[in-house]
Structure 1
């Protein structure tokens, strides 16, 4: 049953235009720039379709796709589901862009904001719902990623001072974020670990995970991802 987002709740989905050589560079090291861009696009669009629908979240609150680069709006306009608002990411590193998004939503009256990316297309929707519920009693919520970063971050106002002094894209991201949070007086909730898809072994895990879901009778609802899996993972055809 879909969870009704309350007024003041915002789900932000961060994503980039899939340009060969500019996305999923670690995946490209084994599979090539072209395939890496296709994989990035498949994960992004499947993620957007999932969260734009009412399967997981009932109407209410606000859902927004936060895209990069800033001039990519015309590319995304015809393919992003209309139930998602769209806005460009701010300038700067990931920390600056996240901080700007949270600050902007809070200025518009948001009371709880959760951000995910497109790198975890199998993410259990109950985890995202749990993040919003955690923010009823906690100031910050984090979803640790198995690569040392985080796949989800959420908070309630004001914006916590956790986005500076972080070495983005490294295994130290989560640890440094916790260091930044310490001493701020802001309370923390932690979600179960999940995996991002950045490297070839992550793509193999994704393929096995999707295949296992199919074998167990679950529909992953990732049609674009499933269509790509057999191209580089022999035997990954799930249907």
Structure 2
């Protein structure tokens, strides 16, 4: 049996600018526009800290809008984090482009900023498993996923996907199986998208 191997892996964090009225909009009924944006800003900072602490490779923040947009003014980002633009298209097209670009040089782990359960240890485990598999995934309880790792482009995984539905992870896994890819699926995590998800916030994010 092939064992997991540690490999240098780029961590790409996909994020929107944490602007009031534009970030975490499904949480606005519970937190208000300003409260939802504040939570988004703190979750962004927390995710970047965890990504840097994992020390599996370079950390990149893939941003929407572009890094030089005024929406990012006042958002503290560690100087060790590299900045990039998500570009155009739907989420699948933007993710596929990031994978295409990064995997020309190194494997990639894609994550968002919505999962408070991500830890340096989980990111390290995913990077190690990517050494023995073609794809790694951390599924989300809402039917999506909070992490996807690849060593080569695989646009079929991202095209014509019903994003923001409970079928995303299942359809993705079906496509991977059809392509004959070796897949590692890690422990299920929780995203913070809806008011009911606030039950999964860690104590340090409960009373911002």
Q: What is the TM-score of this pair, normalised by structure 1?
A: 0.77
Contact 1:43-1:121 within 8 A present in 2 as well:
yes
Matched, 1:15 2:18: no
Query: Within 2, Cα distance between the matches of 1:76 and 1:106?
Result: 30
Residues 195-233 of structure 1: per-residue CA shift (max 9 Å, x gap): 111111211221xxx34xxxxxxxxxxxxxx2x5236xx
Query: Within 1, Cα distance between the matches of 2:132 and 2:12?
Result: 20
Query: Within 1, Cα distance between the matches of 2:168 and 2:161?
Result: 6
Tell me the number of residue pairs that the alignment of Structure 1 and Structure 2 aligns: 202
In structure 1, which of residues 45, 63, 82 is the aligned counterpart of residue 79 of structure 2? 82
> What secondary structure does 1:178 align onto?
helix
Query: Within 2, Cα distance between the matches of 1:87 and 1:230?
Result: 31
Query: Within 2, Cα distance between the matches of 1:44 and 1:80?
Result: 9
Contact 1:14-1:115 within 8 A present in 2 as well:
yes
Q: Which runs of 5+ in 1 are unaligned?
A: 212-225, 232-239
Greater relative contact order (Cα < 8 A, sep 6+)? 2
Residue in structure 2 matched with residue 94 of structure 1 by the alignment: 91
Q: Structure 1 stretches (4+) deviating beyond 3 angstroms?
A: 71-74
Contact 2:133-2:182 within 8 A present in 1 as well:
yes
Residue in structure 2 matched with residue 215 of structure 1 by the alignment: none
Map 1:82-161 → 2, pairs under 5 A: 82-107=79-104, 109-110=105-106, 112-159=107-154, 161=156
Query: Within 1, Cα distance between the matches of 2:33 and 2:159?
Result: 31
Structure whose CA Rg is larger: 1
Residue in structure 2 matched with residue 43 of structure 1 by the alignment: 43
